[in-house]
Structure 1
Amino acid sequence: MKLLFVADPLDTFKTYKDSTFAMMREAARRGHVILACEPQQLVWVRGSRVTARRAVEITLTGDADDWYTVAATADVALADVDAVLMRKDPPFDSEFFYATHLLSQAEREGARVFNKPSALREHPEKLAILEFPQFISPTVVTRDPAEIRAFHAEHRDIILKPLDGMGGMGIFRVKDDGLNLGSIIETLNQGGAQTVMVQRFIPAISEGDKRILIIGGKPVPHCLARIPQGGEVRGNLAAGGKGVARPLTARDREIAEYLGPILAARGLLLVGLDVIGENVTEINVTSPTCFQEITDQSGFDVARMFVDALEEALA
């Protein structure tokens, strides 16, 4: 099969931990052809089809640094490959949004796109949890500073986060004393111009912010607990968290087995749930990661499970 990965520049991949690379490596092992482009290479012209201009066909070398060579470069209509994998990293900004519309047009022309573009649009990673209140901690989403202050007055220890952040960026904790709450609201809320998510602080973060992967509606049996280090409240690996693979708990499975089939039915082949204690904090659908960390520590081959599910979806 021919697989087109729409992703960040190949030269920026950190192959020792990159999940997209793990997908490519497993697909190549099975003999599939690997093509790649960046979102800005997607073009639609009236009378034609959505095309990846100058897409590269790559061969994996097995070298950690010079990990690929370019076998060919060509304009490729997305409907002419077997699958398009949208793997552009967050943030979900306007350009990402526009790219999903081009991918939806490609679907109308016959392309198979994973994750489904309309599902990407309908599941912003922080707001998607609102549909499942039974699995989340006390939460408010608002542009009103007074609402934030009232939430703090009720819960006393809170987390504030922007809706478009990634890797733990822009996350603040305000404890009972309310120290710097006004300044943090000003920073995130921008005078009422920016919507903010506020949640009650979950002490179980000390045990890790768990990334639970769901592939084809089924949970990977191990998660990656990202444990804050030093004085940090954030467990994100990008913020210095330590990743420790662990088997899923009974609660983890309950959450994943409930959400998995629902999200898979909407065209989300791959989902990354963020779970702290017994609460879902995010539903990641743009470019879920942690394949290699889970595989390296647990021995469970996540990339193999993913390509199995992809092949099944295309059968």
Structure 2
Amino acid sequence: MKICFVLSAIATEGCGTSVRMITEAHNRNHDVYACGVGGFTFHSDKPIDIEVVHIAKNSKERSAQEMLEYMQQKETEIINSTDLDVLFLRNNPTEEEDNRQWAEFSGIGFGQLIQDSGVLVLNDAHTLANAFIDKLYFESLPEYIKPKSIITRDIDKLMEFYEEMGQQMVLKPLEGSGGQNVFMIDKHEKNLNQIIETISQEGYIIAQQFLPDVKHGDVRVLLLNGKIMEKDGVKGILRRVPSEGEFRSNMSVGATAATTELTQAMQDIVDIVSPKIIKDGLFFVGLDIIDDKLIEINLLSPGGLDYFEEVGLPDFSSNVIEAIERKIHYRDKYKGELSNKTLASMD
């Protein structure tokens, strides 16, 4: 199998979920490539070229950290995109800096073209284009599994929502990730206007009902093909516990990982979300859950595999690569009869 992982930039990639999947694919003797979102070249008369780092099969096995160092030191080469079996979109547009606005849509945009040429693209690039802001995709899910919310740039509407929620709410940018510019607002907050002004500089604002159980952290649930990942009887779920005095559960702001059990409420949320993400061709998805509410869905670049290892859970990267191997098997057997959306979420 020839598989290419699209990253924001190889030079700045950390040793996280993407590198673990790259390492697993290589150690399973596949031809593995990695590229940054700036590595595509479109030609009007021939297939798209991609500037890649090539991790050839049959080279020595590596740990994830060794793989990252290897990738960042290796010279790049050019490949023809139609020679690939799989293009795996793993860049996160919401994490791009202001001076890289060109990069935000590049992976998905070129992914659509490459998908239309017959390469399997994960997650389905046309769905990602329509759900480019995954927080808006979140709002298309059934109301009863989510906290109440409003998305607006109108301060008066935000204040009406604030009063409706009993003078407690969470504010965050519509296009954001990693817990950046996320604020819990209550009647003691003295800088509300300044906070709203700060977030509005990034675009639309989400005001969301505050869930008191956030103090216990949230649970990240990783789905493959609409099902919770499982290995050796262990589910792919992880509790993220905020640091003292912090309500955000993002690892990037100091939260710690802990094991947890799957509750019926979590399973009920998965059962409601799964049919839609399967229909939409979303292969690898992260759900963030507090008690019986889904607070966020991660479509663009869900992560957490590195933190699973920290608390003694299995290495679920093998689940991901094995699932992709099955998709290529199905593609070959069905000889082009399956659409990208169907194949992307076929178990």
Q: What TM-score do you get using the length of structure 2 for normalisation?
A: 0.83
1:168 deviates by 0.2
Distance across 1 between alignment mates of 2:303 and 2:63: 21
Distance across 1 between alignment mates of 2:248 and 2:64: 33
Report SS of the residue matched to 1:121: helix
Report SS of the residue matched to 2:157: helix
Distance across 2 between alignment mates of 1:127 and 1:298: 34
Gaps of 5+ in 1: none
Distance across 2 between alignment mates of 1:5 and 1:64: 17
Distance across 2 between alignment mates of 1:313 and 1:72: 30
Distance across 2 between alignment mates of 1:251 and 1:125: 22
Report SS of the residue matched to 2:134: coil
Change over 3 Å in CA distance of 1:90–1:240 after alignment to 2:
farther
Match of 1:275 among 289, 296, 304: 289
Gaps of 5+ in 2: 96-100, 230-234, 330-347
The answer to whether the 8 A contact 1:246-1:298 is kept is: no
How big is each residue's C-alpha offset from its partner over 1:133-188, in whole Å with a ceiling of 9 and x where there is no partner? 12111101111110000011111111000012111001111113453222212222
1:230 deviates by 1.8
Distance across 1 between alignment mates of 2:23 and 2:250: 25
Change over 3 Å in CA distance of 1:243–1:63 after alignment to 2:
closer
Match of 1:114 among 100, 122, 142: 122
Report SS of the residue matched to 2:322: helix
1:73 deviates by 4.1
Residue 254 of structure 1 is matched in structure 2 by: 268
How big is each residue's C-alpha offset from its partner over 1:171-227, in whole Å with a ceiling of 9 and x where there is no partner? 11111345322221222224xx83110011111111112211111111122322111
1:199 aligns with 2:230: no
The answer to whether the 8 A contact 1:229-1:240 is kept is: yes
Question: What residue identity is the alignment partner of 1:230?
Answer: E
Report SS of the residue matched to 1:199: strand
1:142 aligns with 2:187: no
Report SS of the residue matched to 2:63: coil
1:85 aligns with 2:99: no
Residue 241 of structure 1 is matched in structure 2 by: 255
**Identity rate of aligned residues, in percent?**
27
Change over 3 Å in CA distance of 1:12–1:71 after alignment to 2:
closer
Q: More deviation in 66-75 or 283-292?
A: 66-75
Distance across 1 between alignment mates of 2:215 and 2:193: 26
Q: What TM-score do you get using the length of structure 1 for normalisation?
A: 0.91
Count of equivalent residues: 310
